[in-house]
Chain A
Amino acid sequence: MDEPINLVLFSGTDDKLQAAAVLTAGAAALGKPVNVFLQYWALDAFRRERIDRDHGLAPEAGAEGKDHVDALRTAGQASWAETLRQAKDLGAVDIQACSLSMDLLGIEETDLDPLVDGVEGVTAFYLNAGAGQVVFI
């Protein structure tokens, strides 16, 4: 159980971030360490000023998919940001911003939500991943 689960988040739509948050919280509840590496549009969604905004859905959701997602929200489903906060309370969840993506998007560390623990490069990410599985979302 000691090898971490390593999630690389690339997509910045609410459905994919929700799926990633569920995977993170589930692993944390099992006592597995989780490393989350934020790239591109996922990183953009973690800006302090944007994290609580509507980030849309993946194209395959379509209108019907949006209705389902909206219904779950209306029923009180925790947002992905809230799910990640709870996961961090529960276990060893470390969320790092990809330094290349920071440059690309012109983001400073102070622009990021406090959920993000720091900034690192891909080498540090792989080092921390160890022999654990890497999942790209």
Chain B
Amino acid sequence: MDTLETTALEIGTTVDARGLSCPMPIVRTAQAIKTVASGALIEILATDPGSLKDFTAWCRSTGNELVEQTVDGPVYRFVIRRK
């Protein structure tokens, strides 16, 4: 849990996509990442079950780095570093 807390300090923007269905978690993330500088971290909270594969694929395709991926009950949490 140490890494999570350390990362939390560096996160500038959180996208709360809980309760949103596909593709809105990705859409909101794509919008939000444009608002932060290269190298900055954004955090996403989502409940859409497709999120795990979608965020992995989105990061691979866009070149942004998926730094963390955790599951807490029904909530998926991702931390992404803008390329």
Q: Which residues of A contact B (CB under 8 A)?
A: 1, 22, 25-26, 28-31, 72, 75-78, 83, 86-87, 89-91
Contact = CB atoms under 8 A, between A and B. Distances in A.
B44 to A, nearest CB: 12
A91 B30 CA distance: 10
A87 B62 CA distance: 16
Interface of B: 19-24, 26-27, 29-31, 58, 61-62
| B interface: dominant SS | helix
Contact of B58 (A1, A22, A29, A86): A29
B23 A72 contact: no
Given A1-B61, A30-B58, A87 B27 contact: yes
B25 to A, nearest CB: 10
Contacts of B22: 22, 26
8 A-B pairs closest in CB distance: A29-B30, A26-B23, A29-B26, A25-B23, A25-B27, A30-B61, A77-B21, A29-B27
Contacts of B26: 25-26, 29
A90 B30 contact: yes
A91 B23 CA distance: 14
A31 B24 contact: no
A105 to B, nearest CB: 30
A83 B31 CA distance: 13
Given A30-B61, A30-B62, A89 B31 contact: yes
Contacts of B30: 28-29, 90-91
Given A89-B31, A90-B31, A29 B23 contact: yes
A37 B29 CA distance: 27
Contacts of A75: 19, 21
A75 B19 CA distance: 8
Contacts of A87: 27
